[in-house]
Amino acid sequence: MRTINGDDVTEAVAGCLAALRPAVDRDWTAVTAGRLEWDCHTTAVHLADDLVAYASNLAARAQDAYVPYELKPDEGTGNADLLQIIEATGGLLAAVVRTAPPGARAYHSYPFGSADREGFAAMGIAETLLHTHDMTQGLGLPYEPPADLAESVLTWLFPHVQPGTAPWPTLLWATGRGELSGRAPVTEWRWRNNLVIPAERITLTGLRPAAAHDLRLGGDGGFDWLGGEPYAGTREAAGYLVKAYEAGVHRPEFGVFVLVRHEDGRALGGIGFHGAPDEEGRVEIGYDLVEEARGQGYATEALRALTEWALAREDVDLALLTIEHGNTASRHVAERAGFTPATVEEERTARDEHDMGTGLGLYLRRA
């Protein structure tokens, strides 16, 4: 698992061009692109249109829709010219990704309405790898992208998909383009950009498996941390996220979020769920802050925002916190965020049925 950037877009596009050039003299309109309903010419135009659309949205910071235009090659454009268009549009996306500031987001429809610069890079790479595969399948050409590019697409856009033994076959399977031993065929699929939840002074930024892996190993996860590094609890939570991803049980919207301050883009701490809602519609939340950010209301702001987001969902009825009896600061955070102490009976049930430790108090907030 690694970071993703404009250089990766360039590498993916270069691989596409190299794979397709041997067939530029053939009639691409007469050849279906793999399992798609489009011919190879239409697929190439679609790829270029995706690349320039992603570049345009990110460059313009479009918020509510795609920038209102589409790519339309000149009439009579040949295959060699189509490859030049793909090279040009891929170059535009790579350049925009490289120059976009950290945290910049723009519109993308699924699933949460926006993507950041890494998300747009990953989507451009995904479109390039997959549609190059489609076209080479139809044209009978060999093609297999570098494994690290396929792995990047999986870890940045498919956090809900359990990794396989090899990333490229896993990506093909996850997008309905191949079979994977021991797994049912995929007939419908979507990728997932990370969720962000805005608050007054901070943004709760969903952590992806690749970033969580880096944090677990002692890195910064791609964030500029106040004080130089995250608190130990954030690294521990990142490790649990990676384990859930590797086990195929990670639900990205119920993962870990990094608190990013609006005024300077610094990361202040982490907050997240201990897992997806249980059969009773319960979710448990945990959080921490770097020492330099404590006592300024950021934890309360983050807890309130995440709890309200969760309780607005149909599958969540109850949010809970477990707090050590002597942790007065966390108790005050919980109360300011709308949580109330559980009853004696509720605490007894939590200990008997949910293994809550005896040194912890239970705080609840209901929908």
Q: What value does the mean pLDDT take over residues 153-175?
A: 97
* 335 within some domain: yes
Looking at the fold, whether 149 and 202 belong to one and the same domain comes out as: no
Looking at the fold, whether 200 and 170 belong to one and the same domain comes out as: no
Please report how the helices 40-60 and 79-99 are oriented relative to each other, as an axis angle in degrees rounded to 10. 20
Looking at the fold, whether 19 and 160 belong to one and the same domain comes out as: yes
Looking at the fold, whether 120 and 11 belong to one and the same domain comes out as: yes
What backbone phi and psi angles, to 5 degrees, belong to 142?
-75, 145
Residues 6+ apart with CB under 8 A from 89: 48, 49, 51, 52, 55, 71
Whether residue 227 contacts residue 286, with contact meaning beta carbons closer than 8 Å, is answered with no
Q: Where is the domain boundary, 174, 207, 239?
A: 174
Whether residue 112 contacts residue 61, with contact meaning beta carbons closer than 8 Å, is answered with no
Looking at the fold, whether 151 and 224 belong to one and the same domain comes out as: no
Cis peptide bond N-terminal to 163, omega within 30: no
- CATH code, domain carrying 342: 3.40.630.30
**What letter does residue 362 receive in the DSSP assignment?**
E
Looking at the fold, whether 140 and 224 belong to one and the same domain comes out as: no
Q: Name the pLDDT band for 319 (thresholds 50, 70, 90).
A: very high
Q: What value does the mean pLDDT take over residues 259-267?
A: 97
Cα–Cα distance, 75 to 280 (Å, whole number): 59
- CATH code, domain carrying 129: 1.20.120
Residues 6+ apart with CB under 8 A from 360: 322, 323, 324, 325
Q: Where is the domain boundary, 108, 143, 174?
A: 174
Looking at the fold, whether 86 and 232 belong to one and the same domain comes out as: no
Cα–Cα distance, 185 to 183 (Å, whole number): 6
Q: Which two tokens stand for residue 194?
A: 């990370």
* 261 within some domain: yes
Q: Look at residue 358 and tell me whether its pLDDT is greater than 90.
A: no
Whether residue 247 contacts residue 187, with contact meaning beta carbons closer than 8 Å, is answered with no
Could you give the number of structural domains in the chain?
2
Looking at the fold, whether 120 and 219 belong to one and the same domain comes out as: no
User: Which residue type does 169 have?
Assistant: P
* pLDDT given for residue 201 in this prediction: 98
Higher pLDDT, 364 or 2: 364
CA angle 241/236/298 to nearest 5° reads 95
Residues 6+ apart with CB under 8 A from 143: 15, 19, 132, 133, 136
* pLDDT given for residue 354 in this prediction: 86
User: What pTM did the predictor assign?
Assistant: 0.95
* 180 within some domain: no
Residue with tokens 């996850």: 174
* 46 within some domain: yes
Q: Look at residue 189 and tell me whether its pLDDT is greater than 90.
A: yes
Full domain range(s) for residue 323: 196-366
Q: Look at residue 209 and tell me whether its pLDDT is greater than 80.
A: yes
* pLDDT given for residue 355 in this prediction: 87
* pLDDT given for residue 93 in this prediction: 98
Q: What mean pLDDT value characterizes the chain?
A: 96
Q: Look at residue 1 and tell me whether its pLDDT is greater than 80.
A: no
Whether residue 107 contacts residue 66, with contact meaning beta carbons closer than 8 Å, is answered with yes
* pLDDT given for residue 29 in this prediction: 97
Residue count of the chain: 367
- Residue of 174, 144, 135, 154 whose CA lies nearest to 12: 144
* 120 within some domain: yes
Run of H or E residues at 283 = strand 282-289
